[in-house]
Amino acid sequence: MVANKYVLLPLLILVFVGTSCIPSATPTFPTAQPEPTVTPIQQQPTSTVFIAIPPISNPLIQSDNESKDEFIVRIASRISKRPFLVTLSEMVSERNLWLGVSPMVNDMVKCWIVEVDSMKQCTTENIRNYTGNPNARKIFFAFVYSDSAKELFILDYYRPTTPYDMSEKDMQDTMDGYRLVIELQDGKWVEKSLIQVY
């Protein structure tokens, strides 16, 4: 009996020591993440109008003795089939560019008739014939914004309403809107971007 006590005692000691060496499993809790720092958005300068303008692959360059307005007319001539009337006009609203360019005769500053191989200043008869004719192609453009090197213009292209070359959707929407950016490089204006927006 005494011998059994001496045998059990070392066993109990081993069991006690063995269990105390086993690391206890302590629950882990996710640590609190620090609060994100809120930084107020800085007001961007208005020159950011020209940020991320997709470059044009084959830009036109202002030729010698060509005014800036005539240069824009030449760019516009790639939008429409000839002949068509193109007019430098006023914005409908400088606060809402989506209202576009005014097609009203009273808001016209200058205008040109673009033929297949020529461009000429409008006459009063040209203005009367084109503005009142729903089948005539017309482009109205207006200056919007400028920084030290670039200028932004809006161009509104009114397509004919005759059904011979138009789908039903085109018959309902006969105006396309464009944004044109030109840039001054070495004393000449260069076409920077021409994007259709509506």
Give pLDDT tens digits for 48-98. Answer: 555 556 667 789 999 999 999 999 999 999 898 888 999 999 988 877 888
User: Residue 24's pLDDT is what?
Assistant: 47
Query: What tens digit of pLDDT does each residue of 171-195 get?
Result: 456 889 999 999 999 999 999 999 9
Q: What is the mean pLDDT of residues 35-54?
A: 49
Bridge partners (DSSP) of residue 119 are 114
pLDDT band at 27 (very low <50, low <70, confident <90, very high): very low
Mean pLDDT (whole number) for 13-26: 47
What one-letter code names the amino acid at 1?
M
Task: Please state the domain extents for the chain.
Answer: 58-93+101-196
Q: Using the structure block, give the residue that is written with the tokens 């084109």.
A: 130
The span from the CA of 43 to the CA of 52, in Å, is 18
Is omega for the bond preceding 83 within 30 degrees of 0, making it cis? yes
More confident residue, 41 or 145: 145
Higher-confidence position of 70 and 162: 70
Q: How high is the pLDDT of residue 41?
A: 38
Per mean pLDDT, which range of 18-22, 153-157, 180-184 is the poorest? Answer: 18-22
| pLDDT at residue 17 is higher than 50 | no
Placement of tokens 């670039």 in the chain: 150
Tokens 């400028």 map to which residue? 146
pLDDT of residue 49: 59
- Position 117 scores a pLDDT of 84
Q: Which amino acid is at 60?
A: L
> So what's the pLDDT on residue 184?
94
Q: What is the mean pLDDT of residues 32-38?
A: 48
Task: Give 102-152 pLDDT, tens digit per residue.
Answer: 999 999 999 999 998 889 999 888 898 898 888 899 999 999 999 888 999
**pTM (2 d.p.):** 0.67
Q: Quick check: helix, strand or coil at residue 175?
A: strand
Q: Using the structure block, give the residue that is written with the tokens 């105390």.
A: 20
Q: Answer whether residue 162 shows pLDDT above 70.
A: no
